[in-house]
Amino acid sequence: MTEANSGHPFPPGMSRPALQALEVAGITTLEEIARHSEAELLKLHGFGPKSIRILRPALEQIGLAFAESEKKR
């Protein structure tokens, strides 16, 4: 998960479209990803469920998680 080898701070296995979707959204770190819910990220063009599955353990490893989705009241 180091930037030196991959050119980005995200775990290996992330697809190019998913990485581009994060870049377009201005999300450049795992900490920034944790400010968004899974549902919000899945709305990004090119970002899919596989990216969620890859990012979840990476976030957990640094003590973070996806933000909670707002629930209807």
The domain limits of the chain are: 13-61
Q: Which CATH number is 13-61 given?
A: 1.10.150
Residue 6: pLDDT band by 50, 70, 90 thresholds?
low
**Other beta carbons within 10 Å of 20:** 14
pLDDT digits (tens, 9 = 90+) for 12-61: 999 999 999 999 999 999 999 999 999 999 999 999 999 999 999 999 99
Cα separations in angstroms, 22 against 9, 25, 71, 73: 11, 5, 24, 29
Inform me whether the pLDDT recorded for 72 exceeds 60.
Answer: no
Mention every residue, 6+ apart, whose C-beta is less than 8 A from residue 15: 46, 48, 50, 51
Strand, coil or helix: what is 28? coil
Cα–Cα nearest to 41, from 16, 12, 21, 14:
21
Per-residue pLDDT, 9: 85
